[in-house]
C-alpha cells in the first residue's frame, strides 16, 4: 500500500511540475535577462569607461593612435564582411 501511495505522490508531483513549467521557464528567462544586463552594464562602466578616459588623454596624432584607428577600421571591415 505504501508503494501505491509513493507512486501516486510521484505522479502528482510530476503533474504539478509540468503544470508549473511555463512559469518556471519565464522566471529563468527573466533571471538570464537580468544577468546579461548586469554583465553588460559592468563591462561598460568598469572596463570601457576608464579605458575611454585613458585614451582621451593620449595625444591624437601619434603612431599609437594611428595604429588603434587602423586596427579598429580593419576589425570593422572584417566584421562587416562576415555579417554580409
Total count of domains within the chain? 1
Domain that holds residue 40: 2-83
The predicted-structure confidence for 53-81, as pLDDT tens digits, reads as follows 887 887 878 888 889 889 999 999 999 99
State the pLDDT at residue 19: 76
8 Å CB contact between 34 and 26: no
Which residues, other chains included, contact 65 with Cβ-Cβ below 8 Å and sequence gap of 6+?
Answer: 55, 58, 59
How many residues are present in the chain?
Answer: 84
pLDDT above 60 for 1:
no
At 59, is the secondary structure helix, strand, or coil?
coil
Q: What is residue 38's predicted lDDT score, i.e. its pLDDT?
A: 93
Higher-scoring residue by pLDDT: 9, 33: 33
What is the rounded end-to-end Cα distance, in angstroms, of the chain? 66
Average pLDDT over residues 13-26: 77
Amino acid at each position: 500500500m505504501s508503494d501505491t501511495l509513493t507512486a501516486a505522490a510521484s505522479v502528482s508531483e510530476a503533474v504539478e511540475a509540468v503544470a508549473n513549467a511555463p512559469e518556471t521557464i519565464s522566471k529563468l528567462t527573466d533571471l538570464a535577462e537580468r544577468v546579461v544586463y548586469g554583465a553588460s552594464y559592468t563591462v561598460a562602466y568598469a572596463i570601457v569607461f576608464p579605458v575611454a578616459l585613458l585614451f582621451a588623454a593620449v595625444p591624437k596624432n601619434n603612431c599609437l593612435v594611428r595604429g588603434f584607428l587602423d586596427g579598429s577600421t580593419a576589425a570593422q571591415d572584417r566584421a562587416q564582411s562576415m555579417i554580409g
